[in-house]
């Protein structure tokens, strides 16, 4: 009788590694916004099959029809992915079972009390847990405080009866998207990856398929701290130049001229620029994730909190500069004045209005009795937001010399390249420039106030 010796089945990590290296793996991406959709596009471009998940049925339908709702991702790119069978979007989370790796790219906003709101991570974890399969790699990409992956995500996933590190792999890799940046995109930015043992190795193999190189760190908490550090660095330095702006303005010095000259130094200086306030989903929010977590260790992050206070005060500062300008030049109050806010997006050349300081500017002006409208060629209508729901549906006014002349003042909040700043100045009684957008304007500079 011939005995057949049983051979050991390959380990889950070997199976996953083989699929990733052979590019036969299916990648699930939960959350198809400004982080998830570029990530899906990048994986699909490298020959991996991508399943995208989102709770917004309209987004899912648009993507499956080859349409894009993000300006810097062309519809042709989406259509090509769909037509090639490399990408499909769905609201049905049961399809997670067929994924080899699942990447979580959901929002992490703040509550009204400026505390972390992890509800999207929790609900996503619960959805994954119901369909978790042995051998899967789960990676959180959403920006959050150190400890979230291990303290919040892991326990929910382990309610499935499976254990991280034994039955499935769990890692954290912070997103590094910069919408509108022409120099860098997902495929050209190194990826920080944190995790334990095989989870870290699997996550590095995954991202090595799409980025120049991965940067492994010792734990998920370390990787979470890396992301916060990157964004706090920007928030603190922006607060510094915002404060210097106020001081130098009182001295009659142009902060923009100062920065332009200072950045000629080839070492020891990095230029940051003032504004009407912080915007975007990261810089205004992420520092508060660390300040909240630090309280658990009986620590106060005074430096970070002070930066937050300085930046949060900027909308009120620029509104006051406009009020002074109206009073000094026309003996006119803000109350009853018609004000045009130019630019609603949080940064130039993007259609992303998340956390834009323009909302606070509009709110403060209207609270003082002004009649406010906005113009933004990239945001024709205000979409629903959690903080400013009452502004939903407002439409961008048309651009013409006659329309511009009908306002008492214009305030530049976003310096889109597609706007004719000379035409704005030529046809406005007063222009408050918070972005140095009018630096190249030659005529009628007497109507410009830097703020």
Task: Reply yes or no on whether 282 is catalytic.
Answer: yes
Structure tokens at 392: 């939903």
Nearest CA among 53, 170, 185 for reference residue 106:
53
CB 414 within 8 A of CB 344: yes
**Residue whose token pair is 């964004």:** 231
Question: Strands, DSSP E only, in 128-265?
Answer: 137-140, 169-172, 191-195, 214-217
Cα–Cα distance, 180 to 189 (Å, whole number): 14
**Residue whose token pair is 């990447």:** 103
CB 193 within 8 A of CB 217: yes
Cα–Cα distance, 421 to 343 (Å, whole number): 12
Exposed / middle / buried, residue 386 (Cβ in 10 Å: 0-12, 13-18, 19+): exposed
Helices (H), 95-153: 119-129, 148
Contacts of residue 432, defined as CB under 8 A and 6 or more positions apart, other chains included, come to: 318, 321, 322, 325, 409, 410, 411, 412, 449, 451
Phi, psi of 100 (to 5 degrees): -85, -35
Phi, psi of 436 (to 5 degrees): 60, 30
Of 220, 282, 335, 418, the active-site residue reads: 282
CB 40 within 8 A of CB 50: yes
* Parallel/antiparallel/unpaired status of strands 214-217 and 191-195: parallel
Contacts of residue 428, defined as CB under 8 A and 6 or more positions apart, other chains included, come to: 340, 404, 405, 407, 409, 410, 447
Nearest CA among 156, 99, 90 for reference residue 123:
156
Nearest CA among 104, 89, 175, 160 for reference residue 137:
104
Per-residue DSSP letter, 159? G
- 3-state SS class at 431: strand
Half-sphere exposure (Cβ direction) of 403: Cα atoms closer than 13 Å: 11
Active site residues: 282
């Amino acid at each position: 009788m011939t005995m057949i010796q049983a051979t050991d089945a390959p380990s889950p990590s070997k199976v996953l590694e083989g699929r990733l290296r052979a590019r036969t793996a299916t990648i699930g991406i939960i959350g198809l916004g400004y982080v998830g959709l570029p990530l899906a596009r990048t994986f699909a471009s490298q020959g991996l099959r991508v399943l995208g998940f989102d709770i917004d049925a309209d987004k899912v339908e648009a993507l499956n029809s080859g349409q894009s709702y993000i300006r810097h991702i062309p519809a042709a790119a989406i259509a090509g992915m769909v037509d090639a069978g490399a990408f499909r979007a769905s609201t049905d989370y049961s399809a997670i079972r067929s994924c080899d790796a699942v990447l979580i790219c959901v929002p992490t906003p703040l509550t009204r009390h400026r505390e972390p709101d992890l509800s999207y991570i929790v609900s996503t974890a619960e959805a994954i847990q119901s369909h978790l399969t042995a051998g899967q790699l789960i990676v959180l990409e959403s920006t959050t405080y150190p400890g979230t992956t291990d303290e919040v995500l892991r326990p929910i996933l382990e309610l499935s009866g499976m254990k991280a590190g034994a039955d499935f792999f769990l890692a954290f890799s912070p997103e590094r998207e910069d919408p509108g940046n022409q120099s860098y995109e997902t495929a050209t930015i190194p990826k920080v990856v944190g995790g334990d043992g095989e989870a870290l190795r699997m996550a590095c193999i995954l991202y090595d398929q799409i980025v120049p190189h991965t940067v492994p760190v010792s734990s998920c908490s370390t990787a979470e701290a890396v992301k916060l550090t990157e964004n706090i660095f920007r928030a603190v330095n922006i607060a510094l130049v915002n404060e210097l702006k106020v001081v130098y303005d009182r001295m009659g010095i142009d902060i923009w001229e100062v920065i332009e000259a200072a950045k000629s130094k080839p070492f020891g200086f990095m230029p940051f620029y003032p504004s009407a306030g912080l915007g975007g989903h990261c810089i205004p929010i992420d520092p508060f994730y660390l300040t909240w977590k630090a309280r658990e260790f009986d620590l106060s992050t005074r430096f970070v909190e002070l930066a937050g206070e300085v930046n949060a005060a900027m909308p009120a500062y620029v509104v006051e500069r406009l009020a002074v300008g109206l009073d000094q030049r026309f003996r006119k109050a803000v109350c009853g004045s018609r004000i045009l806010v130019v630019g609603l997006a949080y940064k130039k050349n993007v259609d992303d209005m998340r956390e834009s300081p323009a909302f606070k500017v509009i709110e403060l002006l209207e609270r003082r009795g002004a009649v406010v409208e906005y113009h933004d060629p990239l945001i024709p209508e205000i979409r629903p937001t959690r903080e400013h729901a009452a502004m939903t549906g407002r439409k961008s006014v048309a651009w013409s010399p006659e329309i511009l002349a009908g306002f008492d003042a214009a305030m530049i909040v976003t310096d889109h390249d597609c706007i004719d700043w000379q035409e704005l100045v030529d046809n406005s009684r007063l222009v408050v420039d918070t972005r140095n957008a009018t630096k190249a304007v030659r005529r009628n500079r007497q109507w410009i106030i830097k703020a």
